[in-house]
Amino acid sequence: MLGGLARRATLLKNLQNQGGPVLAVDSGDLFFDQTTAEADVKKVLTKARLIAQAYKKMGIVAVNVGDRDLSQGVDFLKQEAAQGLPLISANLVDAVQRRPIFPPSVIREVSGVRIALVGLLRSPLPPAIEKSLAGKAVIEDPMEAARKAVAELKGKADLIILLSDLGWDQDIGIAKDIAGIQFILGGHEGRATTGPFRQGETFIVQSYQKGMYAGVLALPLDKPGSLFQDEGRITRIQEELNELDRRNRDLQGAKERNPHLDIRPAIKGIKQQKDKLQKELKEAQKTVAQGNRFRWTLEPISSSLDEDAEVRSLIEATGIKKD
């Protein structure tokens, strides 16, 4: 994580330098991992505070609380929120008052469009993390919390994005049952989704694990109020068509080398796949032209990126080696 933290800051600056507004967010499980409970607590908290400090310098606008973020209790998160870290959670509530500990959502206006970011974490918690809450906080049902948050945002936001630490299956359930969420930026499992999964009018993505990639959701809002269409789908279909053409050439080459080889069934299968994809391509080109276009990409946090000097100095000051 720390090895890519300074490079993540550089990637964010590169995106900001391309022009246009950028909202940087995190879907959760930011501070701790599964082995935290058995680790050196002092070192673990030093690393977590470093990450929080770096995120504040990077200008992150919303950080969803994930279940692993609670492995050192809720007091750590409260301290970081008090120092300016923009934590959100719609279903992490005080055990006594049953009120949200952090804001359920945050709204940012970008080019006249009000974008709401809502946070959710899964329930029930693993026993070890549940124990760390020590009766100070409880997790309410994510579905009910999502339904309440969306209802409260009606008329206040033009676009709702859910920052989710629920996992893939629960993300799909939320999208099925609750209308009004345009995008779910999922986490917890850390799947690498090169293309979004569509459930109704909601698109679901994840951006892999351990900070190895940054997901970039480009949203040129040309037609306010229109449904969103995946511009990247055209590119992915074309790539599939190119791969089928390559397989076809390979088969033809094999036939030339061995005239007795029967490639007709394989060629027929390729043609059927191409016909299907070409129909999908035409439909995708038609629908993209009718709505708001968006594109989802995974940007690698690779060694080719320079380390941001300010974030690197924060890391060096802790004395913690990069991992």
Element (H, E) at 205: strand 202-206
Tens digit of each residue's pLDDT (9 = 90 or more) over 8-34: 999 999 999 998 899 999 999 999 876
Could you tell me if 157 and 116 are in contact, meaning their C-beta atoms sit under 8 angstroms apart?
A: yes
Could you tell me if 163 and 62 are in contact, meaning their C-beta atoms sit under 8 angstroms apart?
A: yes
CATH number at residue 190: 3.60.21.10
Residue 247 lies in a domain: yes
Mean pLDDT for 265-292 is 86
Residue 323 lies in a domain: no
Look up the pTM and report it: 0.85
Q: Are residues 148 and 71 in the same domain?
A: yes
Q: How confident is the model at residue 195 (pLDDT cuts 50, 70, 90)?
A: confident
Determine which of 70-84, 112-126, 273-287 has the lowest per-residue pLDDT on average. Answer: 273-287
Q: What is residue 224's predicted lDDT score, i.e. its pLDDT? A: 62
Q: Are residues 147 and 257 in the same domain?
A: no
Mean pLDDT for 251-277 is 94
Query: What is the residue range of 249's domain?
Result: 232-288
Q: How confident is the model at residue 35 (pLDDT cuts 50, 70, 90)?
A: low
CB atoms within 10 A of CB 101: 19
Contacts of 82 (CB under 8 A, 6+ apart): none
Determine which of 103-112, 113-122, 125-134 has the lowest per-residue pLDDT on average. Answer: 125-134
Could you tell me if 167 and 122 are in contact, meaning their C-beta atoms sit under 8 angstroms apart?
A: yes
Q: How far apart are CA 156 and CA 227, in angstroms?
A: 18
Amino acid making up residue 314: L
Taking 60 as the threshold, does the pLDDT of residue 38 lie above it? no
Q: Are residues 156 and 267 in the same domain?
A: no
Could you tell me if 184 and 174 are in contact, meaning their C-beta atoms sit under 8 angstroms apart?
A: yes
User: Structure tokens of 208?
Assistant: 């892999």
Determine which of 28-32, 141-145, 284-288 has the lowest per-residue pLDDT on average. Answer: 284-288
Taking 80 as the threshold, does the pLDDT of residue 290 lie above it? no
Mean pLDDT for 57-73 is 94
Q: Are residues 106 and 243 in the same domain?
A: no
Count of structural domains within the chain: 2
Q: How far apart are CA 274 and CA 226, in angstroms?
A: 31
Q: Are residues 248 and 115 in the same domain?
A: no
Helices (H), the chain: 2-17, 41-58, 74-82, 127-132, 142-153, 168-177, 232-257, 264-288, 309-318
DSSP assigned state of 172? H
